[in-house]
Amino acid sequence: GENVEQHPSTLSVQEGDSAVIKCTYSDSASNYFPWYKQELGKGPQLIIDIRSNVGEKKDQRIAVTLNKTAKHFSLHITETQPEDSAVYFCAASNQKVTFGTGTKLQVIP
C-alpha cells in the first residue's frame, strides 16, 4: 500500500517568515495530493490540493509543488501569521487517501 513520509515533525518560524513542509510517497499510482490543517480538537480541514498532471498550484499565501518523478511534494506558506499555527498533514491518494504523520507548525509573534 501507499506510504507517506512527512518532515519536519515540528517547525517554529517567526511571524512573517516562510514555512516549508516536505513529503514523499511510495505508490506511483497515486494521483491526488491534498493538504490538511488540523487545529486542536477539530477535524482536519482541506486547505489546498494538487493533481498529478500539475506541477505547482498557488492560493494566496499557500503554494504546493509536486515532482512525480521523484515522488516528492511540498507545501509552502509565505508571510506566516499566528493563526497559521496548527498541525499540517500531507496526503496521497489513488481513490483512498493515505496521510503523513503531520507537522506541528508554530508561528511566533
Partner 1 sequence: GAGVSQSPRYKVAKRGQDVALRCDPISGHVSLFWYQQALGQGPEFLTYFQNEAQLDKSGLPSDRFFAERPEGSVSTLKIQRTQQEDSAVYLCASSFTGGNYGYTFGSGTRLTVV
Based on CB atoms, which residue is closest to partner 1, 14 or 96? 96
Can you read off the three cell numbers belonging to residue 38? 488540523
Give the DSSP letter string of 33-49.
EEEEEE-TTS--EEEEE
Based on CB atoms, which residue is closest to partner 1, 51 or 72? 51
109 binds partner 1 (CB under 8 A): no
Size of the site for partner 1 (CB under 8 A): 25
Based on CB atoms, which residue is closest to partner 1, 5 or 17? 5
CA-closest candidate to residue 21, choices 86, 109, 95: 86
94 binds partner 1 (CB under 8 A): yes
43 binds partner 1 (CB under 8 A): yes
Q: Residue with C-alpha cell 512573517?
A: 16
Can you state the percent helix, strand and coil of the chain, rounding each to 5?
Answer: 5, 60, 40
Q: Of 19, 21, 25, 34, which one interacts with partner 1 (CB under 8 A)? A: 34
Distances (CA, A) of 75 to 6, 41, 94: 11, 23, 20
Residues that bind partner 1 (CB under 8 A): 4, 6, 31-32, 34, 36, 41-46, 49, 51, 89, 93-102
